[in-house]
Amino acid sequence: MSGIYKVLSAILAAIVIVCGVLYLPTHRFFFQRSAYSEFFERLPMTLELVIASVIIGLALAAICTLLSRRPTAWLGAALAAVLFLCMCIPVFWIALTGQLVFAAHGIHIFGYFVQLPSAGFAQYDAFNITDRLTHLVLPATLLALVQAGAYVDSMRSDFSVRRLFAAFALLLPAILSADVLIEIIFAWPGVGRSFFANGEPYHTSSMVAFLLFGAAAVIIVRSVAAILSRPDDTDVEAFQPL
């Protein structure tokens, strides 16, 4: 994709985003003010979960890449196989299994009994960093398994920030879809949980808010990835439809 087409794609994406953001909220049938406010109140919690999952996914991919060197090549290959397998397993099965093993029953690791919280984002009313991380580690790690395998491929082929960002851009729709299930199963108070909150008022407006801004995020991230990518990057082929 030449430079001019990348710029035109980014401009077109910006027009679509602006039109959608400005047009839909003006129609009360689609967008109620309370749903709009609730979306931005919950958004930081979703960003916290997604960003933590990306960091953990990159860390798992980096560990796998380092272990792929001799004499621990077999260990790196085994870890890579597990990560690729997790990308093929349904997210709800991974989430429920992780919740059952690490939260409901607990597990012994190197002589220590580990049992993580099964739901929510905090145990105490006052903010406590240890308490928040304890509640965050399990859902973020399970969400990281959706993307870690793709980062392994990017690091092994030709390590660069561009390729990692391109892999993240391609995975973003899957990450957002998995985030909805993770937030529901772990009762994480983000925007994904409100997507299926049938008992809350203005449910249609909540769905439209999530879909609108989720689509905007995908368009922006993929447009930036297409602009930053090099002509010889193999990942660029995935952005041709843009």
Among the residue ranges 21-35, 187-201, 215-229, the one predicted with the least confidence is 21-35
Domain 3-239 matching CATH 3.10.620: the answer reads no
Q: What is the pLDDT of residue 157?
A: 66
**29-54 tens-digit pLDDT:** 455 666 677 788 888 999 999 999 99
Instruction: Please compute the mean of the pLDDT values over residues 121-146 and round it to a whole number.
Output: 86
Does this model's pTM top 0.85? My answer is no
Q: What is the pLDDT of residue 46?
A: 92
DSSP secondary structure of the chain: --HHHHHHHHHHHHHHHHHHHHHGGG-TTT--HHHHHHHHHHHHHHHHHHHHHHHHHHHHHHHHHHHTSTTSHHHHHHHHHHHHHHHHS-HHHHHHHHHIIIIII-EEETTEEE----S-S-SSSS--HHHHHHHHHHHHHHHHTTTHHHHHHHHHHH--HHHHHHHHHHHHHHHHHHHHHHHHHTT--SHHHHTT-TTSSSHHHHHHHHHHHHHHHHHHHHHHHHHHS-TT-GGGGGGTT-
Among the residue ranges 68-77, 114-123, 147-156, 225-234, the one predicted with the least confidence is 225-234
Domain boundaries, the chain: 3-239
